[in-house]
Amino acid sequence: MDERGTTERVLTLLGLLQQRRTWSGPELADRLGVTPRTVRRDVERLRTLGYPVHAGQGVGGGYRLGRGQDLPPLLLDDEEAIATAVSLLAGAAAGTGDATLRALTKLDQVLPTRLRHEVRTLSGSVEFFGAGRTPVDPEVLMTLAGACREEVEASFDYPSGSSGSSVDTTRQRRVEPHRLVASDRRWYLLAYDLDRDDWRTFRVDRMTAVSARTWRFRPRAAPDAAEYVQEGVTSRVYAHQARFLVHAPAATVRAQIPPSAAVVRERGTDRCEVQSGAASLDAMLMHVLLLGHDFELLDPPELGTRCRALAEKLLSAAAAPSPGDRRAEA
């Protein structure tokens, strides 16, 4: 292989080492399409460049990217590294995007120990105001993101009642974390709950005492994270769920409904399906009615009865004489 191909492979190896805490030699060889001997040579190339790649033997061993005494060649001096890390911490807390969190976890992996305290001190002086996602502790995000990446169990305390309930009971939850998902309002964790033996969605801002455990797990077949979380927060948490066929393009309806309020699926070029939930069937009917598009009821069947009752009320209100008409008659 030519020098360019070797360089690309070594950079790919570095990216893999930043994605997960530990890789076995055969795993890396399979990902890179080379032999374990070539992997060992590429690891030595990274060490020559200043990246502290450690190798462990026996069960649980493998290659992992350690924290260096000096910054690896990221073309950042200490001041630039501090400024970058503080900006990413602030962005993660404010909910500026998933890319911010991914970049933060990568930088945190290689940030020298001597700089970490200064970064934490400076980031603690940042405040936010205005609209956006519910603020969360960036350290919690980093812990959960690391647990997802390294495929280790996580634990945290979580209230069992609804948000704001006076009867909330906080219990420790043990989970196999799968993905962090960001909505337009909040951060969520999709994880397999070991005590309830099922997939669950957790609000990150409601977690306390978050920690990553040392027990590794084999990933299970998981649902699509973004879709599962969105369906959960828009419909499954409510007493009533409904589906509508709206006669308008999906892009038009998505611009009218926040993603945290409903799931909108394309059904051709000029129609879409809207799935949502609410405390009452009447509330859901009013929401879809106010979109201003023709629509059909898909589910549940009893929604048709409520639709007719609501229509009768509107017709009755329209047929009643206006105050001006009553004064004219008098």
39-70 residue pLDDT tens: 999 999 888 887 888 888 766 568 988 876 55
- Taking the C-alpha atoms of residue 21 and residue 56, their distance in angstroms, rounded to an integer, is 12
Answer yes or no: is pLDDT of 198 > 60. Answer: yes
CB count in 10 Å sphere of residue 176: 22
Per-residue CA distances from 152 to 82, 118, 143, 215 (Å): 28, 28, 11, 5
Residue 328 CB partners (closer than 8 Å, separation 6+): none
Most confident listed range (46-60, 227-241, 259-273): 259-273
Most confident listed range (142-151, 166-175, 271-280): 271-280
- Taking the C-alpha atoms of residue 143 and residue 276, their distance in angstroms, rounded to an integer, is 32
Answer yes or no: is pLDDT of 212 > 70. Answer: yes
Mean pLDDT value across residues 165-177: 81
Q: Which of 41, 38, 46, 36 is nearest to 15 (CA)?
A: 46
Residue 285 CB partners (closer than 8 Å, separation 6+): 303, 306, 307, 310
- Taking the C-alpha atoms of residue 180 and residue 145, their distance in angstroms, rounded to an integer, is 7
Tell me, what's the pLDDT at 137?
A: 77
Tell me, what's the pLDDT at 235?
A: 75
- Taking the C-alpha atoms of residue 107 and residue 81, their distance in angstroms, rounded to an integer, is 8
Tell me, what's the pLDDT at 296?
A: 92
Q: What is the mean pLDDT of the chain?
A: 80
Most confident listed range (85-89, 129-133, 205-209): 205-209
Amino acid at 218: R
At 270, the pLDDT band (50, 70, 90 cuts) reads: very high
Decide if 241 contacts 276 (C-beta within 8 A). Answer: yes
Contacts 24+ apart (CB under 8 A), 113-118: 113/67, 113/69, 115/78, 115/81, 115/82, 115/85, 118/82
Tell me, what's the pLDDT at 163?
A: 53
Answer yes or no: is pLDDT of 244 > 90. Answer: yes
Mean pLDDT value across residues 153-158: 95
Beta bridge partners of 187: 182
Tell me, what's the pLDDT at 87?
A: 67
Answer yes or no: is pLDDT of 119 > 70. Answer: no
Answer yes or no: is pLDDT of 304 > 50. Answer: yes
More confident site: 248 or 85: 248
